[in-house]
Structure 1
Amino acid sequence: MIKIYHNPRCRKSREGLQLLEKSGKEFEIVKYLENVPTEEELNIIIKKLDIVPIQLVRKTEKIWKEEYKSKDLTDKEIVTAMITNPKLIERPIVINNKQAVIGRPPEKISNII
């Protein structure tokens, strides 16, 4: 089943959701600001994306700049920061079985649905 990690306040996330709706395929919406992924879930997402944790961080967020940017963090500490502050998680993330993409630009989602 397709899953989208979605923030309704984010324009790119809304555009990604529209692409999924137009596809006609079944999918699940995870509002990750309300249902924050666990450390294990986030690590699975990172592995499916085939990236390192820092690549999933929204580095323009105020909390990142104020609390984390100047620190030398381990991957585990970066994952913990995203769980503690889910606004730091890049969005939208779409997962289709073993494939995953960050929908920036949203057209990337078309590659896995």
Structure 2
Amino acid sequence: MHQELNLELGLAPYDPWIVKKKLTETDLSYGGSLILPKQDFETILQEMERRFVENLVNGVEVKVHIIEEGHESDDYTLTLIKCNSSYMLRGGWYNIAKSKGYKPNDEIGLMWDKWSRRFLFHLIK
């Protein structure tokens, strides 16, 4: 596999969020799951361990580190699953969304930290 490096410099601010999504009513409904944008999420899969990705159809536990404004952050354990060619976080997502007060049209960002083997999650706006 051949990858080219992009060495262009720019003045745009650094944006680490590989997956960005505006939350929907479905994402925030009771017992619901956070459905992740497939194409963006598959970029993250390339950074994960192969055995981890192979087990997604059964669901795997993942750590999610929620980064908030200031110095606050919280860690959660959720289930990441591939279902009908969609990727979703479940098993506690509703409780997180409710406790954080997320609303429809809030934009969230998600990235994989391969060093700590966890997702970093942030409410963008």
TM-score norm. by structure 2 comes to: 0.26
Q: Which has the higher strand share?
A: 2
Question: Which structure's CA Rg is the greater one?
Answer: 2
Normalised by the length of structure 1, the TM-score is 0.28
